[in-house]
Amino acid sequence: MKTLGIIGGMSYESSKLFYELINNRVNDIMGGYHCCKSIMYTVDFDEIVKLQNEEKWAELDLIVADISRKLELAGSDMIVLCTNTLHICSDSIKNSVKIPFLHIGEAVGEEAKKKYIKKAGLLGTKFTMEKDFYKKVLLDKYGIDVVIPGEKDRDTVHDIIFNELVRGHIKESSRNKFIDIIKRLERNGAEGVILGCTEIPTLISEEYVDIPVFDSIRIHAEKAVEWILKD
């Protein structure tokens, strides 16, 4: 088994879920007392949020590149970034280390392609929904067009993520808002919906909607395990 390097803490709610997912998956496959060999570097999320809100992506590039080098030096055989939004800095990770980096959008794209999805709704932070770093991967590599919510719905999704989900607060009223937003995406042609924020699966799952749901954190975790157990 290879050693997985994890950049976490964005938020710790999603990082603890990711940690649980990868270890459960390894144990399901290998049995016994097996768990994932991993090294996690956890950031102070408040610092990251401030830089994101100020659109200081170059500074964030430097932060994740530095963390990636530390994980490589510590013995990691591959790196995952345990968040969707900061994949805007994925090139800086790839360029800073010699070990492989698993992009969450590629993991999701592979899974959506298996289900013959041609057009998918994307939910996440405003950065993920509005910028091209995630949508471009899905379109260029997997031929999947992306539809995002309208401006008001994007504000709603973003606010629920940062004011509730990252703090571990799950509200039925917020779940109902997400369900309504997903229905509008479906009316706009979405054949499935990508939960492109690692906290959203704590609120929404396939049982609440009528179209396929692509849980980015679970898909990412399962693909990471596939990588570390290969060969």
Residue 8, C-beta contacts closer than 8 angstroms, at least 6 positions apart: 15, 18, 19, 40, 41, 42, 43, 82, 83
Q: Rounded distance, CA 130 to CA 149, Å? A: 10
Confirm if 104 and 133 have CB atoms less than 8 A apart: no
128 is catalytic: no
Q: Residues 83, 125, 128, 198: which is the catalytic one?
A: 83
197 is catalytic: yes
Q: How far apart are the first and last CA of the chain?
A: 8
- Per-residue DSSP letter, 2: P
* Tokens representing residue 6 in the block: 């994890």
Q: Residues 36, 82, 89, 197: which is the catalytic one?
A: 197
Cis bond before residue 173 (omega within 30° of 0): no
**Of the candidates 69, 61, 86, the residue with the CA atom closest to the CA atom of residue 9:** 86
Using a 10 angstrom Cβ sphere, with 0-12 exposed, 13-18 middle and 19 or more buried, the burial of residue 203 is buried
Residues assigned a catalytic role: 83, 197
